Amino acid sequence: MAPVLPLVLPLQPRIRLAQGLWLLSWLLAVVGGLTLLCSGHLLVQLWHLGTFLAPSCPVAALPQVALAASAVALGTGLVGSGASRASLDAAQYPPWRGVLGPLLVAGTAGGGGLLVLALGLALALPGTLDTGLEEGLGTALANYKDTEVPGRCQAKRLLDELQLRHHCCGRHGYKDWFGIQWVSNRYLDPNDQDVVDRIQSNVEGLYLIDGVPFSCCNPHSPRPCLQSQLSDPHAHPLFDPRQPNLNLWAQGCHEVLLGHLQGLASTLGNMLAVTFLLQTLVLLGLRYLQTALEGLGGVIDGEGEAQGYLFPAGLKDMLKTAWLQGGAARRPAPEEAPPEEEPPKEGLPEA
């Protein structure tokens, strides 16, 4: 039963390992804390933009899993620093002996699993975001005029604030506003001939205009904002088409939001990768330290050379041992009977 990946650890290398592990653990704790903050930030951003993401889109899964994974990483870092500090002091180590084994298992299984899941979600995010935003923004634009319908009355305010804050207009450009009715019927004069003409000329009876809401206006424009009659070149005679059009925001909200959220998600993904690497190193180091000290029987200052290993035996041997132990536990009665028969048998030949 050869141990897997054994490493001989005399006293000095053991001390070096413990000290290095202490530093790495604190680094892991700091990085875990930062990842926690980053995933919290992403969660808050997604919550703010909730109206513009389709409810069927499970984007919130990534920050939640990342939150759990970074919490486990933070815990691992703190445990690692405590254990490595204790392993240098003979008086402090005994309470850690019993706890370290299960903690390592929990750290590897829980932390590792969550981190891998979070990394997978981070890679899959862009696709889900795209479809979610497409649907969500389309609904928001359609609900812009429904300021008196319960459940949709905030759509106008939220979309205006989005366009003002993120410097965007429409879904993919300002022309999206030409295709929907964003002026509510309550504010349309039924006696105005122009209004009646427009509504009658539209197949679905919608009042469509070549104008945009005020929130599309770009403050950098040198002239007061032109919001209406945008497709008519003669409506604003002094508008110079050769000048770059600074009048409205050029970008669509879809691209802006996608870029913003993807940036946050990729930062989070990078930090999760670094956390994963650090956590693996810390757990490996702790395992080697634990097994080396077990080899010495828990005596810290023992000058003897102890062997640290990952697993006490190869995978096949471990499974066999586990199976035998499990089998022994399941058949206690037959085990007791043979020893009872043994002594009478031994007695007979003697006699």
Partner 1 sequence: MALLKVKFDQKKRVKLAQGLWLMNWLSVLAGIIIFGLGLFLKIELRKRSDMMDNSESHFVPNSLIGMGVLSCVFNSLAGKICYDALDPAKYAKWKPWLKPYLAVCVLFNTVLFLVALCCFLLRGSLESTLAHGLKNGMKFYRDTDTPGRCFMKKTIDTLQIEFKCCGNNGFRDWFEIQWISNRYLDFSSKEVKDRIKSNVDGRYLVDGVPFSCCNPSSPRPCIQYQLTNNSAHYSYDHQTEELNLWVRGCRAALLSYYSNLMNSVGAVTLLVWLFEVTITIGLRYLHTALEGVANPEDPECESEGWLLEKSIPETWKAFLESVKKLGKGNQVEAEGVDAGQAPEAG
Interacting residues with partner 1 (CB under 8 A)? 147-148, 153, 156-157, 160-161, 164, 182-184, 186-189, 192, 213-215, 217, 219-220, 222-225, 227, 237-238
Q: Which of 229/321 has CB closer to partner 1?
A: 229
Q: Which of 218/262 has CB closer to partner 1?
A: 218
Q: Which of 100/217 has CB closer to partner 1?
A: 217
- The least distance separating partner 1 from the CB of residue 241, rounded to whole angstroms, comes to 15
- The least distance separating partner 1 from the CB of residue 178, rounded to whole angstroms, comes to 14
**Amino acid letter, residue 222:** P
- The least distance separating partner 1 from the CB of residue 219, rounded to whole angstroms, comes to 4
CA distance between the termini of the chain:
42
- The least distance separating partner 1 from the CB of residue 240, rounded to whole angstroms, comes to 10
- The least distance separating partner 1 from the CB of residue 301, rounded to whole angstroms, comes to 34
- The least distance separating partner 1 from the CB of residue 302, rounded to whole angstroms, comes to 40
